[in-house]
Amino acid sequence: MNWLPGYNYILASKSPRRQELLHSLGINFQVVIKEVEENFPEHLFKEEIPVFLAELKSKSLMDKLKENDLLITADTIVWLNGEVLGKPENKQEAIKILQKLSANEHQVITGVCLTSIHKQKSFFSVSNVRFKELSLSEIEYYVSEYNPLDKAGAYGIQEWIGYIGITHIEGSFFNVMGLPVQQLYTEIQNF
């Protein structure tokens, strides 16, 4: 199904989860990856951060767009007590992040930017997620058996830690995976 006839969909993301989610919507798309330094101004707050980063990724590819292209860029952060918990740099940092999330509720916020050569539309989605109190052995098992280093907040909701640890979610499950597909579907239809 092609929602916007005549458009070539381009996903600028190396995330296998985003690619899987977009593919599951029935969109034919190509993946284009351009490394972008994911830095943001310190004055940005909460949902402003992933929207800024999604737009930054979009800007890096604007000169490559053709008349009938629709570029999709996204960025996801985990927000806990006024702090961004990004992707961990190593396993020790992943353990520390998961210890912070243990027995707490946090927000997963994804910013998405849709760009053509004629216009741009950005939006965000927020999901509230609560973890049970995780034991150190549960955290260490997850970090050693899975790959949390490529995930904001050091976890994947669709993996073992999500199965055993998440007690409550309010909002889009798929947003926590990295792409709010229902909202994306609606925004593309209205683009």
Strands 29-31, 8-11: parallel, antiparallel or unpaired by DSSP?
A: parallel
Longest dimension (CA), the chain: 53
How many whole angstroms separate alpha carbon 185 and alpha carbon 112? Answer: 12
Tokens of 102: 């243990």
Of 8, 122, 124, residue with least CA distance to 65: 8
* CB 116 within 8 Å of CB 65: yes
Query: Pick the catalytic residue: 63, 69, 75, 150?
Result: 75
How many whole angstroms separate alpha carbon 20 and alpha carbon 70? Answer: 18
Helices (H), ranges, 132-180: 136-145, 160-165, 173-177
First to last CA, the chain: 16
Task: Please confirm, yes or no, whether 150 is among the known catalytic residues.
Answer: no
Positions marked catalytic: 75
